[in-house]
Structure 1
Amino acid sequence: MHRTYTTQIDAARKGIFTPQMEQVLAEETISRQDLMERVARGHIAIPANKNHLNLMAAGVGQGLRTKINVNLGVSRDVCSFDAEMNKAKLALQYKADAVMDLSVSGDTEAFRKRLVAEVPVMIGTVPVYDTLTRTGKPTEEITLDDWFETVEIHADNGIDFITIHAGLNRKCAHSIQVNPRLCGIVSRGGAILFEWMAKTGNENPFYEHFDRLLDICEARDVCISLGDGLRPGAIKDASDAPQIEELITLGELTRQAWQKNVQVIIEGPGHVPLHEVEMNVRLQKKLCHNAPFYVLGPLVTDIAPGYDHITSAIGGALAAMHGADFLCYVTPAEHLRLPTAEDVKEGIMASRIAAHAGDLAKGLTGAMDPDHRMSRARQSLDWESQFECAIDPEKARAFRQSSQPSDQDVCTMCGDFCAVKRVRDLGKDRESQSAGFSG
């Protein structure tokens, strides 16, 4: 008998292995049984909107490769949807796992539809931004229906996961007022909802009417990425009372979503000093019942504008090692400007390296295989194989070609002092090697 399901988590609970689960299984080393059980429990999410017809589904969560997301989108000052589409193509070229459209100007719906039609990886958005853009209203004039109509539009457009800052309720808003911060609220979505609550006197619409949100998401199988509206934007603000209070609320909302067969990802900080990264990951996993964890960075210092892809990669690698499942990339342009195409590439590569380093540390099955291939190529001084193994073959090859050695076996760093070549050449003369170390 044909069995139906509404969402990926509903299918897993009914013992139905969906086509999207098959796609995830083909790209991971997890067993079929473990995948289905973890999707059923909510420990793995497979964002896969029913209207995203060309999607090649990916899983986010326990036992899977750490995924990375690329943010893009236009602003009022830099408003070229073609340029942002080129960034989406770069994301595909450099093997990002997801794209989020954060556009806040222009014909956002047309661009979303184009993304969904042309981009086969999972796509996310932040409907709160788009509500202001779509309606053109001042924040305090946004109605309850305005907020939810935007969510429905994004769901109908085929968006796979939506960031919703439902945890920033009035209680959490009070917490940030009585626990002063150096940088206050740095989440755009969080700031918009905080302003709306302050000016209208109302509760957060997505918290108060969370069931309405769940009904929309269940109907299209949209994964909710529960946003951290109170994430720290400064090292000093990390792990403070408002952040943790919101996280507790996100854990409560997670259970509600799972009861309605809606998949959940939890978003996390933010700016976090190195020694607090592990604690933040473990606390999220505890309070949010092992739901997949999606972190922005975290950035481990505040003083590196122009290099924040590096500060983010340091924190991201550590977070992934301790159980974070999804890294939102950060580019060198963070805190400074809308990123260029080159910034996007740098951010992707830094995040991919961080994610892979985390997978190595976690002991993920098969994670070390490409490193072993690279090491064998280096040991044999096989330069073409080294390029093929590199995370960015184009850049590695360009560096090599820009400084050619007289002896093509080596590079211009070591030349005749190349340790690998010396030991290799010594090994070719087995008799002399044996004589040299005999007796």
Structure 2
Amino acid sequence: MTQLEAARQGIITKEMETAARDEGVPAEYIRQGVAEGTIVIPANIYHKSLHPYAIGKGLRTKMNVNLGISEDVCNYETEQVKAKLAWEMKAEAIMDLSCYGETAPFREWLVKNSPAAIGTVPMYDVKGVLHKGLKDMTADDLFSVVERHAKDGVDFMTIHAGLNRETAKHIMRNKRITNLVSRGGSILFAWMYMHGKENPFYEQFDRLLELLRKYDVTLSLGDGCRSGSGHDSTDAIQISELINLGELVLRARRAGVQVMVEGPGHMPISDVRMNVEVAKKLTHGAPLYVLGPIVTDVAPGYDHITAAIGGALSASCGADFLCYVTPAEHLRLPDVDDVHEGIVASKIACHAADLAKGVKGAALWDEKMSWARRKVDFKEMIPLAIDPAKARRYRESSKPEDEFTCTMCGSMCPMKTLDEILNNRNPEDDPFEKK
């Protein structure tokens, strides 16, 4: 049975127990959330190296790392380095977005070695698997790629099932600046346009659910109509798809399939809270997975920052799962350094949101750092940093004479000044008391 079916029968699985220990909450809390559909644990029955993580209501904000090859950059050795970096930096999920050639060996390597949940977008892989153009692909062909990924042990899949013919009409009628920026969504739209048919994943949704249930693959309902620019945020196209996604969430739950929903892309800060609240309302509290959101369109090279701003705000408002964005977003395939920068930015966003949400234990980390700073103890501070290696490089690049200060303030360090006064004062002597 799936995690959802077990939870509904009152069974606490070993995956629920592991997730509960990680979160510092009772296993019953996880079970109840999974049963309600407000928590998911992506865990394919064939992913044996998995450390299961729970995503959803009341839990730490989780992070996904995208990687994979393209037609222009196809070095799987580099992608393996990126994956190992993601594991070292405790990313809870990795999505293989490879979209060229034979992808199965790398996907199988990931499943064999990854403690993080593995996700894919099967539509990215249709050309490489089927060796034919979209015009010649049948609905059965598309489903065969989904099943192959499931058999390979993928824990969650992005399927753009909410992009139906009615939503496609909205796309034709409502002109955007950036049209569809979802790669998977645009491929499906093109297939529907070429064939003059309904989206097979919407039309045959029960078939999709039966396939996913067999392997306990978590369905990540993709936002094929997400906005690709601030101008296009929260329009009729996006909302039309979101209404469909809410209906599909209920059908997935009834079928015993765990389900989460992917959220919008680019939007101004003023739209973030409203988008999160509307998405949560229309999709019945399903875990919300967001890319960014990217809060301004003019920062190529720095979109890990624009996304971290949007991610922190959206997660503080109720989003549960952040997809990292690297500095290379909109420019090229990220290299290893880009991946590192993207992970750090996303980890900052996740933790900032957890502080705002009052997630259990989140503030303790900050308090430990604050006490170390009060003591001006860099040997204690640096290991507490999100990126200790970078903190150490900065510290060692400019050392002061006094080990218990830094080259910013030196002898004028406010921590040392106040500690010297307050620790050595006579409690009975208060110079601020009127005499």
1:45 equivalent in alignment to 2:40? yes
8 A contact 2:65–2:323 mirrored in 1: yes
Distance 2:424 2:264 in 1: 57
The CA RMSD measured in Å over matched residues stands at 1.1
Distance 1:240 1:403 in 2: 51
Distance 2:187 2:270 in 1: 31
Partner letter of residue 400 of structure 1? R
8 A contact 2:355–2:363 mirrored in 1: yes
Give the match's secondary structure for 2:362.
coil
Partner of 1:54: 49
1:329 equivalent in alignment to 2:324? yes
8 A contact 2:40–2:54 mirrored in 1: yes
Number of residue equivalences: 434
8 A contact 1:426–1:433 mirrored in 2: no
1:162 equivalent in alignment to 2:154? no
Distance 1:255 1:98 in 2: 24
1:253 equivalent in alignment to 2:248? yes
8 A contact 2:40–2:56 mirrored in 1: yes
Distance 1:384 1:209 in 2: 58
Partner letter of residue 420 of structure 1? M
Q: Deviations over 1:258-292 (max 9, x none)?
A: 01000001001100110110000000110000000
Partner letter of residue 101 of structure 1? D
Distance 1:13 1:338 in 2: 42
- Give 1:162-241 correspondences, 5 Å limit: 162-241=157-236
Q: Which runs of 5+ in 1 are unaligned?
A: 1-5
Which residue, 279, 282, 292 being the options, matches 2:277?
A: 282
Distance 2:20 2:318 in 1: 20
Partner of 2:264: 269
The alpha carbon displacement at 1:93 in A equals 1.1
Q: Which runs of 5+ in 2 are unaligned?
A: none
The 3 A distance-change label for structure 1 pair 66 and 213 is same
- Give 1:287-298 correspondences, 5 Å limit: 287-298=282-293
Q: Deviations over 1:289-308 (max 9, x none)?
A: 00000000000000000000
Partner of 2:3: 8
Partner of 1:86: 81
8 A contact 1:42–1:263 mirrored in 2: yes
Distance 1:134 1:368 in 2: 47
Distance 1:429 1:266 in 2: 57
- Give 1:365-384 correspondences, 5 Å limit: 365-384=360-379
Distance 1:215 1:432 in 2: 73
Partner letter of residue 162 of structure 1? M
1:116 equivalent in alignment to 2:111? yes
8 A contact 2:220–2:261 mirrored in 1: yes
The alpha carbon displacement at 1:432 in A equals 9.8
The alpha carbon displacement at 1:241 in A equals 0.3
Superposition misfits of 4+ residues, deviation over 6 angstroms: none
Partner of 1:3: none
8 A contact 1:10–1:261 mirrored in 2: yes
Distance 1:49 1:310 in 2: 33
The alpha carbon displacement at 1:433 in A equals 9.2
Distance 1:367 1:104 in 2: 37
Partner of 2:95: 100
Distance 2:186 2:347 in 1: 30
- Give 1:322-361 correspondences, 5 Å limit: 322-361=317-356
Which residue, 422, 427, 432 being the options, matches 1:427?
A: 422
Partner letter of residue 258 of structure 2? Q
Give the match's secondary structure for 1:69.
strand
Distance 2:204 2:288 in 1: 24
Give the match's secondary structure for 1:305.
coil
The alpha carbon displacement at 1:107 in A equals 2.1
The alpha carbon displacement at 1:136 in A equals 2.1
Partner letter of residue 228 of structure 1? D
1:76 equivalent in alignment to 2:71? yes
Partner of 1:302: 297
Partner letter of residue 71 of structure 1? N
8 A contact 1:300–1:312 mirrored in 2: yes
TM-score, with length taken from structure 1: 0.97
% identical equivalent positions: 54
Distance 1:380 1:412 in 2: 16
Partner letter of residue 315 of structure 2? A
Partner letter of residue 235 of structure 1? G
The alpha carbon displacement at 1:133 in A equals 1.7
Q: Deviations over 1:302-332 (max 9, x none)?
A: 0000000000000000000000000000000
TM-score, with length taken from structure 2: 0.98
Distance 1:44 1:428 in 2: 48
The alpha carbon displacement at 1:29 in A equals 2.9
8 A contact 2:100–2:127 mirrored in 1: no
